[in-house]
């Protein structure tokens, strides 16, 4: 470990946040815990943090609203803490651009593992700086700068969305299974009934333009996964 | 068209037919008797080669033809009107049945009032009663669902802390004492939560315990003494303004708990150095108890909500209690036909008024 990654933990349960902070600090992270959504948004937009952990259920502005405000101005990776069994929060969170979610209550070990997976993915850019841009049709992906262009116009993607798109681009013209996408882009094995990948991909489709024939460049391949069309 | 429709239809039609046939026959006989015998003659006279040797025994066949046209039209009219009547009766019942099916299938949003149109009869009343029933049931089911949702959410917080503490215990065995203490505390919290939930559900099921005479003066003094002890840590004072209060019929344990919850809530929301006032007076056959604090009060539109399970004022974190205390108080007071209300004091702060029957 070189420099500890700075994590922002937004949770109204002060005691829980304290314990998680103790755990994560010992695990090699640097953690700031704030108890409400408003200060969470302010801190997250300060640019001092590599990752934001956001509790969905908070009084005042909740996690979902906080995420909306963060995403309006920043692509900092966000991990949502959602109530176990509450699918709606999870889907809405992912649609709004959260990078991943952890159901609460969770073991701190699992939380730390997820944090590492997200950080590893978002920091890959630095290690692979020498890589050339990948171009497929009107789509141009620049792994070095972690930027995406469609028809020469920049597209704002979250860190997870970028990872997914990158995997698809590298495999352009052949279907990539969801399990593969989960392993390579989310950094974790695919869990049964997990819709995260579908939600992320639908969001990417939304942000990218359409091909001249009106189709989306990402196609669902029945029972095989997703495929980026190579003309 | 259901079985009921055809039954209505058949009975109404038969009744009408019987009526028409009866009345028709009656008039027919009347006319026959009124007609002079000579009136029958022409048919015989006109018959070619007819003679008079065909006497009365053969009269019947030569009687004028039965009134086919009126009978046919009566038949058609009665069919149509029977059909219309049967339809008029059976239609709302069919609507009701469909609504019952929907309700049985779990859709309590179904209403039949609109399909009754402008009817004002017993069937329309039945439809309105049905609507009223589904509405009540819907509210009850919603309430239960919300409670279940809230309960699972409330259990989640102590569980999340438990898991975090266990993680810490594993990671930092040198601080085991501290983390075990935390684990113990979370366990106790869960215990309190489950205990309060059980009390609440018993009260909602109408189990209010044995009722006996409770000395209110003694009860209030005990509660205030305990509250003083608890408030001393934050320099919150508790004043009792009550003398020689009468007895009240209630379950002593639950009533103690109900009033204690209100006082503790006031204590919890008092600023450091504040005062909680507990005042009681008797007016007629009512005992009026008022607990007021100097806290921030509650928004006017949330005044009734504070008696809802798991309600928490804005900006209140999950630190203090589960929001079940006042819900329990409300149900205990209601069980002895008392009333509990909350209002904001003009000087700021919340005051909760309890009215009990002496």
User: Which of residues A87 and A74 earns the better pLDDT score?
Assistant: A74
pLDDT digits (tens, 9 = 90+) for A31-59: 999 988 899 999 999 888 999 999 988 87
Beta carbons of A23 and B312 less than 8 Å apart: no
Domains recognised in chain A with CATH numbers? 6-125 (3.40.50.2300), 128-228 (1.10.10.10)
Section B306-311 average pLDDT = 83
pLDDT at A81 over 60: yes
* Gap between the Cα atoms of B96 and B87, Å rounded: 14
pLDDT digits (tens, 9 = 90+) for B20-79: 888 888 888 888 887 665 544 444 444 454 444 545 555 555 566 667 787 788 888 888
Angle of the B176-204 helix axis to the B325-335 helix axis, nearest 10: 30
**Rounded to 10 degrees, what is the CA torsion of B172, B177, B178, B181?**
130
What percent of chain B has pLDDT above 90? Answer: 19
pLDDT digits (tens, 9 = 90+) for A105-163: 888 999 999 898 888 877 765 455 446 788 888 888 888 778 888 888 888 888 888 88
Q: Which of A16, A176, A204 is nearest to B186 (CA)?
A: A16
Residue of A nearest to B185 (CA): A15
Beta carbons of A22 and B172 less than 8 Å apart: yes
What is the predicted pLDDT for the residue at B279?
92
Q: What does residue B279 show for φ and ψ, rounded to 5 degrees?
A: -125, 140
B34 burial (CB, 10 Å; 0-12 / 13-18 / 19+) is: exposed
* Gap between the Cα atoms of B90 and A52, Å rounded: 64
Beta carbons of A14 and B319 less than 8 Å apart: yes
Q: Which of A4, A51, A59 is nearest to A158 (CA)?
A: A51
Domains recognised in chain B with CATH numbers? 3-107 (no CATH), 112-207 (1.10.287.130), 212-357 (3.30.565.10)
Q: Does B162 touch chain A (CB under 8 A)?
A: yes
Beta carbons of A60 and B315 less than 8 Å apart: yes
Residues 6+ apart with CB under 8 A from A1: A28
Q: Does B302 touch chain A (CB under 8 A)?
A: no
Residues from chain B contacting residue A33 (CB–CB below 8 Å): none
Q: Does A61 touch chain B (CB under 8 A)?
A: no
B95 is catalytic: no
Of B152, B167, B312, the CB nearest to A107: B167
Beta carbons of A20 and B161 less than 8 Å apart: no
| SS3 annotation, B234-282 | CCCEEEEECCCCCEEEECHHHHHHHHHHHHHHHHHCCCCCCEEEEEEEE
Q: Does B153 touch chain A (CB under 8 A)?
A: yes
What is the predicted pLDDT for the residue at B53?
52
What is the predicted pLDDT for the residue at B46?
47
The alpha carbon of residue B299 is apart from the nearest alpha carbon of chain A, in Å, by 15
User: What is the pTM (predicted TM-score) of this model?
Assistant: 0.63
pLDDT at A1 over 50: no
| In contact, A54 and A62? CB cutoff 8 Å | no
Of B160, B167, B315, the CB nearest to A109: B167
pLDDT at B194 over 50: yes
The alpha carbon of residue B272 is apart from the nearest alpha carbon of chain A, in Å, by 21
Of B159, B161, B166, the CB nearest to A15: B161
Comparing A8-22, B61-75, B322-336, the range with the smallest average pLDDT is B61-75
Q: Per-residue DSSP letters for A140-187?
A: EEETTTTEEEETTEEE---HHHHHHHHHHHHTTTS-B-HHHHIIIIIS
Section A99-106 average pLDDT = 86
Strand-strand pairing, B212-215 and A225-228: unpaired
What is the predicted pLDDT for the residue at B290?
92
The alpha carbon of residue A122 is apart from the nearest alpha carbon of chain B, in Å, by 26
* Gap between the Cα atoms of B265 and A56, Å rounded: 27
- What is the overall mean pLDDT for chain A? 85
The alpha carbon of residue B136 is apart from the nearest alpha carbon of chain A, in Å, by 27
* Gap between the Cα atoms of B190 and B347, Å rounded: 37
Token pair in block for residue A16? 């829980």
Q: Which of B118, B126, B121, B120 is nearest to B94 (CA)?
A: B126
* Gap between the Cα atoms of B33 and B72, Å rounded: 24
Section B74-102 average pLDDT = 87
* Gap between the Cα atoms of B332 and A189, Å rounded: 52
Angle of the B68-104 helix axis to the B122-171 helix axis, nearest 10: 20
pLDDT at A2 over 80: no
Q: Does B173 touch chain A (CB under 8 A)?
A: no
pLDDT digits (tens, 9 = 90+) for B62-78: 566 667 787 788 888 88
What is the predicted pLDDT for the residue at A125?
52
């Amino acid at each position: 470990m070189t420099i500890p990654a700075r994590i922002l933990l937004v949770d109204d349960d002060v005691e829980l946040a304290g314990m998680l902070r103790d755990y994560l600090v010992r695990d090699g992270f640097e953690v700031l815990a704030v108890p409400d959504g408003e200060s969470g948004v302010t801190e997250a937009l300060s640019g001092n943090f590599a990752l934001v952990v956001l509790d969905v259920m908070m009084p005042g502005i909740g996690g979902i609203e906080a995420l909306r405000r963060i995403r309006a101005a920043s692509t900092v990776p966000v991990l949502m803490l959602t109530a176990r069994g509450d699918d709606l929060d999870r889907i809405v969170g992912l649609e709004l651009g959260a990078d991943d979610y952890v159901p609460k209550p969770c073991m701190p070990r699992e939380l730390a593992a997820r944090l590492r997976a997200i950080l590893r993915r978002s920091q890959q850019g630095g290690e692979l700086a020498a890589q050339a841009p990948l171009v497929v049709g009107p789509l141009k992906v620049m792994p070095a700068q972690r930027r995406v262009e469609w028809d020469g116009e920049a597209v704002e993607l979250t860190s997870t969305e970028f990872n997914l798109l990158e995997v698809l681009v590298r495999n352009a013209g052949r279907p990539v299974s969801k399990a593969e996408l989960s392993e390579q882009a989310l950094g974790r094995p695919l869990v049964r009934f997990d819709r995260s990948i579908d939600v992320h991909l639908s969001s990417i489709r939304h942000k990218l333009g359409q091909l001249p024939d009106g189709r989306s460049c990402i196609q669902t391949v029945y029972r095989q996964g997703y495929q980026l069309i190579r003309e | 068209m259901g079985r009921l429709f055809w039954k209505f239809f058949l009975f109404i039609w038969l009744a009408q037919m019987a009526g028409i046939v009866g009345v028709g026959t009656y008039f027919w006989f009347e006319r026959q008797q009124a007609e002079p015998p000579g009136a029958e003659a022409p048919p015989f006279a006109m018959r070619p080669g007819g003679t008079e040797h065909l006497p009365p025994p053969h009269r019947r066949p030569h009687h004028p033809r039965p009134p086919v046209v009126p009978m046919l039209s009566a038949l058609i009219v009665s069919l149509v009107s029977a059909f219309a009547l049967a339809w008029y009766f059976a239609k709302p019942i069919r609507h009701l049945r469909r609504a019952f099916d929907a309700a049985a299938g779990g859709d309590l949003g179904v209403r039949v009032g609109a399909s009754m149109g402008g009817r004002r009869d017993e069937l329309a009343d039945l439809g309105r009663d049905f609507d009223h029933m589904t509405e009540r049931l819907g509210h009850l089911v919603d309430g239960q669902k919300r409670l279940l949702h809230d309960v699972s959410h409330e259990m989640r917080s102590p569980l999340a802390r438990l898991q975090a503490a266990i993680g810490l215990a594993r990671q930092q065995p040198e601080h085991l004492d501290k983390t075990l203490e935390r684990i113990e505390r979370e366990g106790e919290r869960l215990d309190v939560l489950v205990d309060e939930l059980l009390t609440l559900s018993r009260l909602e099921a109408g189990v209010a315990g044995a009722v006996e005479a409770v000395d209110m003066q003694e009860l209030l003094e005990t509660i205030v003494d305990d509250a003083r002890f608890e408030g001393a840590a934050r320099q919150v004072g508790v004043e009792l303004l009550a003398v020689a209060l009468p007895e009240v019929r209630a379950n002593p344990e639950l009533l103690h708990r109900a009033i204690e919850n209100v006082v503790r809530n006031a204590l919890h929301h008092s600023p450091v150095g504040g005062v909680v006032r507990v005042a009681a007076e008797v007016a007629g056959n009512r005992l009026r108890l008022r607990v007021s604090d100097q806290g921030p009060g509650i928004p006017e539109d949330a005044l009734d909500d504070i008696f809802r399970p798991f309600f928490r004022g804005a900006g209140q974190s999950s630190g203090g209690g589960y929001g079940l205390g006042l819900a329990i108080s409300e149900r205990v007071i209601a069980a002895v036909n008392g009333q509990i209300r909350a209002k904001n004091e003009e000087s700021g702060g919340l005051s909760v008024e309890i009215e009990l029957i002496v």
